[in-house]
Amino acid sequence: MRIPITMIRCGMQRSLAALSMTLSALVLSACTTVDLSVRDQPVRSSAPTVPAASSTPSASSSTGVTPPPPSAEAKKPGGYYKDDGPGDAIPDGLVDTPDAEPKIEPIAKGPSKPYTIFDQTFVPITDDKPFIQRGKGSWYGKKFHGQRTASGEIYDMFKMTAAHPRLPIPSYARVTNLRNGKQVIVRINDRGPFHASRIIDMSYTAALKLGFIQIGSAELEVERILPDEIARMQEDKRRKGTLASAKESTDPMTRLASGSAPPVAAETGGIFLQFGAYAQVHNADAMRIRLLAGWPQDLPEPVIVQTGGLYRLHSGPFTSRETAKTAADLLKEVSQIQTSIVQK
């Protein structure tokens, strides 16, 4: 039997259409295949509209895999998105790296201007209002190591720094891993990440100390450390350093071993608080150390004064007996330290 030519043509057309649909399905399937081993890694992006002072390293949207333990010698070549990751030479002892030390610094003008990335405009913070944010944080590593940050500084993945879209540059933030409670202080010196699901990009070392190097990201809380708090932190550090130095330099046993004597101040006139009179300078010195352990921050620290053949512990001078009495009452209330008022 003869088959009409029209039927042959229709059959060929249906076969070709079926073949086309099959090929399209295969292409689509290839395009949507996901490597289940890939986990969240920092998303960094070029910033063509960021002010000239900002030169954040550029990359398209990125992901990465679970990095190996920091101390592991064996690395998985090619496992990180666009060759990012921890690098091949990880210094020892990074987990003991001190936190960034907050300082009061002027905000850089360039990185403080509004900028647009991926059709989203960011307005950097320039005031001193409290700022607390919770969300997913990530980290960035060797791909950007050695490149210039938005602050103009060179990115060092082994220092305690971070990138944030809006926090002032430079500024300091206290970052807490909400899962394990670990907390660090970092210096904000870069812009990013520019991804809707990320709030901050930590340096490699900061992420290591927070405990999420191996998973690439974590739920974090970011709290800006304001200048007033920084001033208090600096004063506390100065005071602790002074007390430690005083204890080391005036410890009786240390001085006996070294053969040196405690410092003795010259006698001056005025109204003082007196904490005792001692025949031996080392006894006065030992009492001074005990007093310093609970000494209020706003009062003059006690000193040893030699007068009348005795070593006396004095604090002052005070402008009047009333102010001296106020100080004595404060010592009694705060530190249970008893004293008397004397006038020279």
Location of structure tokens 């920092």: 42
Model confidence over 83-128: pLDDT tens digits?
A: 567 777 888 999 999 999 999 999 999 999 999 998 999 999 999 9
CB of 194 closer than 8 Å to CB of 61: no
Find the mean pLDDT for residues 42-60: 36
Local structure of 168: helix, strand or coil: coil
Task: Give dist(CA 34, CA 23) in Å, integer.
Answer: 19
Please tell me which residue, 180 or 6, carries the higher pLDDT value. Answer: 180
CA-nearest of 120, 95, 125 to 108 is: 125
Instruction: Kindly give the interhelix angle for 227-250 and 281-293, rounded to the nearest 10 degrees.
Output: 160
pLDDT of residue 247: 55
Q: Does the pLDDT value for residue 21 go beyond 50?
A: no
CA-nearest of 326, 259, 257, 255 to 284 is: 255
Q: Where are the domains of the chain?
A: 39-225, 250-343
CA-nearest of 314, 240, 243, 313 to 282 is: 313
CA atoms within 13 A on the CB side of 92: 1
What's 248-316 look like in SS3? HHHCHHHHHHHCCCCCCECCCCCEEEEEEEECCHHHHHHHHHHHHHCCCCCCCCCEEEEECCEEEEEEE
Give the DSSP per-residue string, 93-133: TGGGPPPP-----PPPSGGGS-EEETTEEE----S----EE
Amino acid at 314: H
Strands 161-163 and 183-190: parallel
Model confidence over 162-186: pLDDT tens digits?
A: 999 999 999 999 999 999 999 999 9
Q: Does the pLDDT value for residue 129 go beyond 90?
A: yes
Largest Cα separation within the chain, whole Å, is: 140
CB of 113 closer than 8 Å to CB of 196: no
pLDDT of residue 140: 92
pLDDT of residue 150: 95
Can you name the residues that pair with 174 across neighbouring β-strands?
A: 185, 223
What backbone torsions phi and psi does residue 254 show, to the nearest 5 degrees? -65, -45
The CATH class of 250-343 is: alpha beta
R_g of the chain computed on alpha carbons = 33
Token pair for residue 244? Answer: 């430690």
Name the pLDDT band for 34 (thresholds 50, 70, 90). very low
Name the pLDDT band for 249 (thresholds 50, 70, 90). low
Find the mean pLDDT for residues 195-220: 94
Name the pLDDT band for 66 (thresholds 50, 70, 90). very low
Q: Does the pLDDT value for residue 31 go beyond 50?
A: no
CA-nearest of 29, 52, 246, 59 to 143 is: 59
Token pair for residue 242? Answer: 């002074």
Task: Give dist(CA 113, CA 115) in Å, integer.
Answer: 6
Task: Give dist(CA 329, CA 334) in Å, integer.
Answer: 9
Strands 171-177 and 217-224: antiparallel
Q: Matching CATH topology for 39-225 and 250-343?
A: no
Query: Architecture of 39-225 per CATH?
Result: Beta Barrel (2.40)
CA-nearest of 341, 342, 325, 322 to 333 is: 325
What backbone torsions phi and psi does residue 268 show, to the nearest 5 degrees? -130, 165
Peptide bond into 130 cis (omega under 30): no
What backbone torsions phi and psi does residue 35 show, to the nearest 5 degrees? -80, 110
Note the pTM of the prediction, 2 decimals.
Answer: 0.53
Q: What is the mean pLDDT of the chain?
A: 75
Q: Does the pLDDT value for residue 19 go beyond 60?
A: no
Peptide bond into 69 cis (omega under 30): no
Q: Does the pLDDT value for residue 237 go beyond 60?
A: yes
